[in-house]
Structure 1
Amino acid sequence: MDLARALKEYVAYLAVERGSAANTVEAYGRDLLRYTTYLAQQGISQPAQVMRSDVERYLQALSSLELASSSVERATSAIKGFHRFMVAEQICDSHPAVDIPLPKKPDRLPDVISPQQAAALLDQPFLQTSASQRDRTILEVLYGCGLRVSELCGLDLQNVLLTDEVLRVYGKGSKERIVPIMGTAACALQEYLEQWRSGLVRSHVTHENASAVFLNVRGGRISRQSVHSLVEKYGRVAGLMGLHPHTLRHSFATHMLQGGADLRVVQELLGHSDISTTQLYTHVDRTHVRMAYMGAHPRAHS
């Protein structure tokens, strides 16, 4: 079996037997297609032909493209998993990537906006149209609930329980969690569902798309790309250049912790499996900590 065929089997394995999330399967498939294409250009088409040096050269070439460290880490994980799968399935005997370490993540703090900047973003005037009020609601829910973009786009009507003030959200690996929705986010969502969403509904869309909370102008489920674009657009109007949806999630977590929320609670709200991921947010606003120290400690001033 050649590498191209093995790759198809591995992608099917991830989707069916492992039950990996669709976004993960797509990303791994894309990473490994680039990898096997590179190997083919080196005259390597059979799994047994791949040597550790081939994997190392490919990863060096990948690093030279100035990709995000997370992208290189994911590609490395995909390659290691692919070769491990081929050994387990007896497609080949060798695992050339077995002891190749994952690249070390840099200690990069996430971008956040201040509460005042969040207010400027959310309190700006929105047109009284279905699309504009949908956009307003998306911004409120991203910041008010700390959702990932994929979670927001995948939100269905039956998972909105406004009477109970919660959303049922499916995160990475299709893990379910319950997220509170209150205040302006809940008001915006209720108003959107009652008054504006019907203006986006189209009779020809499939039942699956028709159940989506957030619809595009053609009546289908809104895409992640559209959410990225609208966040950037409204951020620019509010003076926040290059605003990213994930920045709203980071800001939600940071502002919750600054407001006194317990770290374990924020971990649960964000859907982090490892609390060390959530702990990153305790180091985001060093200015906030410094000012608190300067104002409280009797020996802070020389």
Structure 2
Amino acid sequence: MVFDVVPSGRTAAADVRLDRAHRRWLAGLAPSTRRGYSADVAAWLAWCAAHGVDAGHPSGRDLGEYLDTLADTVSIATRARRLAAVRSFYAWARDEGASDADPNPPRRSTPRVRGLDAARLGGLSATEARTLMSAADAHHPRSAALVALLLTTGLRISEALSVSVGDLRPDTHGRVLLTVTGKGSKVRTVVVPELAAHRCTVIAGQRGRTAALFVTRTGKRWSADEARDHLARLGRRCGLMGLHPHALRHTAATLALAGGTNIEAVRAMLGHASLATTQRYVTAAGALDASPAEALAAQFVAPTASEPTASGEQAPAAGGTSTT
């Protein structure tokens, strides 16, 4: 357990949930990041336990007091890294439903180090996402369907795995829609672009409408832990170490925003209750009338020989070799 002392007002069950979330978050980080962030977040949780702070719902003032206690013992860079680790953990925990906390320390307590992004969660670039999509296609239809669905809709892993065959339905405009129940039992509908819809149709096969979409070889609904392990292995196959489902959700958000999709449309797609949560992913301004899912799907299709790559170079023909 992370906690040696149960903070006032907390229950043992709540502490166990947060501890499990802490372990899952660490498991999804790259090894180099995990080494530092593991100790950083553990130190924060231990401080909460020792000072009677509810680590599941800390305030910005709580986090500010913690940072202030470090001022005389560690460098500004170390304090900034610890802040980055704590905020990264809570951003992940909010999306996983383990906590709704979003602690922001007072400005006077916030260490300032040029170039450090305290909200970075580790999304993929468009090139890395295409590499992952190609690896998933080559590996197994179920892998391809899951990766395509997460990358183009930004679903949480729990939402994706709860999908049944009949949940995917066409609308009058020829699109495929999917209604999911997210955090707080809030229901939302997302567009599933052809890139993902086709792959989902392949794995659905002839199963009935109430059957789970993502199943094991024995026909049992795929569990979150099994899917996380599968994605981690798939990531290692293509050099994306420490890959985890939230990285794909983060990728969907950042690439949609970078492509010019309106932030409110991205908020609705992700199911965020607050626009402030979505704004953590902002990397570009602009607006598109198209669905974020359609804009995302276009980024995950490898360029043809006649199309320029992101660097402006012509893509090699399929099966060909580069001359550089």
* Alignment correspondent of 1:161: 169
C-alpha distance in structure 2 between counterparts of 1:224 and 1:27, whole Å: 20
Q: In structure 2, what is the Cα distance between the partners aligned to 1:216 and 1:27? A: 30
Q: Of the candidates 19, 23, 30, which is equivalent to residue 16 of structure 2? A: 30
Equivalence for 1:147: 155
SS at match of 1:252: helix
State whether residues 257 and 284 of structure 2, in contact with CA within 8 Å, keep that contact through their aligned partners in structure 1: no
Tell me the C-alpha RMSD between the 2 structures: 4.3
Is the CA contact 1:170–1:177 (under 8 Å) kept in the aligned structure 2?
A: yes
> Which residue of 1 is the match for residue 86 of structure 2?
69
Partner residue, 1:215: 215
| Contact persistence 1:162–1:186 (CA under 8 A) | no
CA–CA separation in structure 2 for the residues paired with 1:170 and 1:220: 20
CA distance in 2, matches of 1:250, 1:72: 14
What amino acid maps onto 1:176 in structure 2? V
Instruction: Please say if 1:173 is aligned against 2:184.
Output: yes
In the alignment, the residues of structure 2 paired with residue 114 and residue 223 of structure 1 have an alpha-carbon distance, to the nearest angstrom, of: 27
Contact 2:182 2:271 (8 Å CA) reproduced: yes
Residue 246 of structure 2 aligns to a residue whose secondary structure is: helix
Q: Does structure 2 conserve the Cα–Cα contact (< 8 Å) formed by 1:235 and 1:243? A: yes
Q: Deviation of residue 232 (structure 1)?
A: 0.9
Q: Secondary structure at the match of 2:189?
A: strand
Distance 2:18 2:120 in 1: 29
Deviation of 1:211 (Å): 2.7
Deviation at 1:149, TM superposition (A): 0.8
Counterpart for residue 125 of structure 2:
114
2:192 is the counterpart of 1:190:
no
For residues 123 and 32 of structure 1, the distance between their equivalents in structure 2, rounded to whole angstroms, comes to 35
Q: Secondary structure at the match of 1:123?
A: helix
1:220 is aligned with what amino acid?
K
Q: 1:33 to 1:116 in 2, by over 3 A?
A: closer
Q: Deviations over 1:179-217 (max 9, x none)?
A: 00013111111122127xx5xx9xxxxx9xx63211122
Secondary structure of the structure 2 residue equivalent to 1:282: coil
Deviations 1:231-258 (A, max 9, x none): 1111111111111111111111111111
Residue 246 (str. 1) matches residue 263 (str. 2) = no
Matched residue, 2:31: none
Which residue of structure 2 lines up, in the alignment, with residue 260 of structure 1? 260
SS in 2 for 1:112: coil
Letter in 1 for 2:235: G
Change over 3 Å in CA distance of 1:122–1:61 after alignment to 2: closer
Go from structure 1 to structure 2 and tell me whether the alpha carbon gap of 1:58 and 1:118 turns closer, same or farther (over 3 Å shift): same
Q: Could you say what secondary structure the match of 1:281 adopts?
A: coil
2: CA distance, partners of 1:139 / 1:120 = 11
* Distance 1:253-1:230 versus aligned 2 partners, 3 A rule: same
SS at match of 1:241: coil
Higher helix share: 1
Q: CA deviation at 1:31?
A: 5.0
Q: Distance in 2 between matches of 1:261 and 1:185?
A: 19
2-structure distance, mates of 1:108, 1:283: 12
CA distance in 2, matches of 1:138, 1:108: 26
For residue 271 of structure 2, what is the aligned residue in structure 1? 271
3-state SS in 2 of match to 1:180: strand
* Amino acid aligned to 1:262: N
Alpha-carbon distance in structure 1 between the residues aligned to 2:55 and 2:178: 43
Could you state the TM-score of these two structures normalised by the residue count of structure 2? 0.53
Matched residue of 1:239: which SS?
coil
Indicate the residue corresponding to 1:227 in structure 2. Answer: 227
Question: Which residue, 136, 143, 146 being the options, matches 1:138?
Answer: 146
Contact 1:144 1:181 in 2 (8 A): yes
Structure 1 distance, partners of 2:192, 2:135, is 21
**Cα displacement (A) at 1:177:** 0.2
Number of residue pairs matched by the alignment: 207
- Cα deviation digits, residues 255-274 of structure 1 (max 9, x gap): 11111110110010000110
Q: What are structure 2's unaligned runs of at least 5 residues?
A: 1-8, 21-47, 57-65, 67-81, 94-100, 111-117, 286-324
Structure 2 residue identity aligned to 1:112: G
> In 2 relative to 1, CA 256–127 (structure 1 residues): closer, same or farther, beyond 3 Å?
closer
8 A Cα contact 1:109 1:284, kept in partner? no
- Report the alpha carbon displacement of residue 219 of structure 1 after superposing the two structures with TM: 1.8
When structure 1 is superposed on structure 2, of 276-285 and 265-274 the one drifting more is 276-285
